[in-house]
Amino acid sequence: MILIYTSKNIKHKAERVIQEHGTNDVYEICDNLNITILKSNLGRIKGFLQYYKKQHHYLIQVNQKYQKFTKIIIAHELGHYFLHKNLNTFKMENCSLVLGEKLENQANIFATVLLPDYVLTNEASQLQNWSLNQIASFFQLPLPIVEHKVRHMNLLSSDITIYKNRLTMTNL
């Protein structure tokens, strides 16, 4: 059975995880859950969550090429752990691109809530005149994470609208 999560459900789930673990530090959360983090060359894949049934053990593989995104990748994979761990996401992505994209988007929303707000809050006045691409570049974060974080914090709401309008016009 596939659970349907709204952004609000995902936000509440991530907030409960932070509250239960007393932190939003992805390494501490993984340690508490006994999830092993491995870094290796994964080609184009940034990371993935893997389950070993015989040992009843989860691990997160992180591509060593994306060192500066390690925490974000782990947060994203924790999103899959808390939201989709009972699903075979590889199989689902091969059956439906739309469903695969939806699962990835949900994991991004989860990761966004785990990211500390203070990073953007401290720079909010400076960021008012920046595009989302500039913010993503400055903080070395993937654009979807920045979009969700900015929306979550109610920052730059007019810029998001302008950005989405540009995207829509580009796709025409």
Active site residues: 77
Phi–psi pair at 40, nearest 5 degrees: -155, 175
Of 84, 92, 85, nearest to 58 (Cα)?
85
The helix (run of H) or strand (run of E) holding residue 56 is none
Helix axes 132-139, 157-171, angle to 10 degrees: 110
CA distances from 112 to 32, 42, 87, 94, 97 (A): 20, 23, 21, 25, 22
CA dihedral 130, 46, 108, 23 (to 10 degrees): -100
